[in-house]
Every structure is written in C-alpha cells, then in structure tokens.
Amino acid sequence: MPEKLKVSIVIPVYNEAGVIEHTHKDLAAAIDVLPYDFSVYYVDDGSADGTAADLQAIAERDARVRLLFFSRNFGHQAALTAGLDHANGDVIISMDADGQHPPEMLAQMIELVSQGYDIVQAQRIEADSSLSFKKVTSTAFYSLLNRISGTHVSPGAADFRALSRQALDALKAMPEYHRFLRGMIAWMGYKSVILPYHEPRRLAGQSKYSLGKMLRLASDAIFSFSLMPLYIGLSVGGVFLILALAQIVYVLLLWLSGQYDRIVPGWSSLMAVMLIASGIIMILLGFIGVYVGYIFQQVKGRPVYLLRSPEKRGPGDKSV
C-alpha cells in the first residue's frame, strides 16, 4: 500500500474556551473522510481561561492532536510560527481556532498542493458591503502597505493557507523577530494560487485581536517591509532645503534692489516655519527610532516564543 500523504494543521488558540470544542468537532468531521495522514497542532498562546484544559481533553480523545503551550501570550504570529516549526507534514495548513476558516476547504487546498502549488492562499470575499471599524482600517492598511512596500499582500488574505514542504522550509529559514507571515510568504514567491471563500461569523466569543494587537501587526508589517518612512524623511528634508534656498534668494533680491523696508521678518511666519519644521524633524526621528528599535530587538536574538510543559503530565499527554 502506498504511504499516505502527511498533512499537518496548525491552529493558534488564545482564550477560546467554549469555542475550541466546536472548532475541533467541525474540523474532525471534515478530515475524517479524507484519505490523508493528519496531525493537528494546537498552539495555546498563553490562554488565561479554560482553553488549556479543553485542549487536553480534545487531545485525549483524538490521537491526531498534538499540543504546544506558550509560557505567556506571545501573539498570533508567534503561535503560528511555533506550530509551523513543529509541523512534520508534506502539506502544512494554518487556520484560526474560531471557525472562521471553513474546514470544508481543506480537501481542495491539499489537492492543489499535491498538484504542485507551493502556496494555496485562501482569500476572504466580502459578502456584505456594510462598513465596520475592522474592515475600514484593514482596507486602508493594505492599500498603504502595498503602495509603500515591494511585496504585494492581498487584502482579505488571512493566515488561512496551505504550504508545501518546500515553501515551509524556506519560511523557517527566515529568522526575523518581528513576524508578519502574510508578507513573508508573499515575499518568498513560489508557485501560488488564491482560493476565494466566504468567511462565516465567529462560532462564539469576541475577536482576540485587540486594537493594540492590530496596531502592533501593522507596525511590524510596515517597518519590516518598507524603508519608505525613511525616504519620506529624505524628501521632506530636500523640500525644506529648497524652500530655504528660495527664501535666501528672495531676501537677497530685495536687498540688492534696495527695498530694505520689506526685509523686516514677520514673527508669526517665522514661528510657523519653525514649528512645522521641528514637528517634521521629530516625526522623522521617531521613524528612525522605530527602525533602530527593530534592529535592536533583532540583534538580541531572543526566541520568538517560549514553550512550557503542560500542567498535568499523564499517560494520555500529547504535548510535543
């Protein structure tokens, strides 16, 4: 009998008690009927509710489940990274724990990778045209990012995708501390295909992406994928130099033509120029500061996440 294709599924989980059981039931129903050798990696990203216990109960019932526990909340991208580091499949799929990534799509995603695609990216299609804070900010963010960085990341392309072993090995060789996986994967190239899908609502609970977490992801994306903020500094500096030069020429011309009475400088215009110029300088120094900070965190070489051993270690323990 030919060996079955090994498929790893990586699912980051943060405070999803009460949701994760449903998610796993739906996932199990979808993969039970597929002819592959599955492992499901749940990464508990330092949950503070009953998620860890729920996961252990799931692992006790289902032999395909492997568990990883973080020592604290390191964030979605770190949790994905941990799962991808441990996954040993020929096809590796990442998806969310809240039921928003339909497991019915897995069959087609795996099929496409076995046909030779390295990256199968699921892309959300917006069904309703209503505006929400999340939708507006995410659209604005992706159009900015795509304008200022050399890597194109599709809006609506979340962390729901299948990778071939080749693509995953390439990704694992990227040791950056600030991780924006969608961008890193788009940067890699490889043979890719996009699979559109309608995103269902969360099974239960609230989004675990707080505003702070969204801002951190946006900052990781912009400052690690673009040097544009630094170029803004250069061009604004250039414009200010040209303005200064024009002013010197203007004053010199007035002086040469003997119009001394018009040279008395206005206090308000002077203050305005000073305040604007110093404001711009401070913003640009801030941009440089962020890059220096990112470099500092990278050179420290700290791990992206830390694992802890699970609370209870028994014969049924499935943690890896």
CB nearer to ligand UDP: give 118 or 199: 199
Window of 92-100, 157-165, 236-244, 286-294 that interacts with Mg ion by CB under 5 A: 92-100
Give residue number: closest CB to ligand UDP: 207
CB of 204 to Mg ion, least distance (A): 11
- Rounded CA separation 105/87 (Å): 20
CB of 269 to ligand UDP, least distance (A): 48
307's torsion region: left (phi>0), alpha (psi -120 to 50) or beta?
Answer: beta
Residue 98 binding Mg ion, by CB under 5 A = yes
CB nearer to Mg ion: give 98 or 159: 98
Residue that the structure tokens 């096809």 belong to = 91
Residue 199 binding Mg ion, by CB under 5 A = no
Window of 81-89, 99-107, 189-197, 258-266 that interacts with Mg ion by CB under 5 A: 99-107
Tell me which residues touch ligand UDP (CB under 6 A). 12-14, 16, 45, 73, 75-76, 79, 96-98, 100, 207-209, 213
Q: Tell me if residue 36 falls in helix, strand or coil.
A: coil
Q: Which of 100, 151, 164, 224 binds Mg ion (CB under 5 A)?
A: 100
Q: Encode 67-94: b = buried (16+ Cβ within 10 Å), e = exposed.
A: bbbbeebbbbbbbbbbbbbbbebbbbbb
Q: Tell me if residue 64 falls in helix, strand or coil.
A: coil
CB 79 within 8 A of CB 70: yes
Window of 16-24, 62-70, 90-98, 130-138 that interacts with Mg ion by CB under 5 A: 90-98
Q: CB atoms < 10 A from the CB of 284, how many?
A: 17
| Residue ranges in contact with Mg ion by CB under 5 A | 96, 98, 100
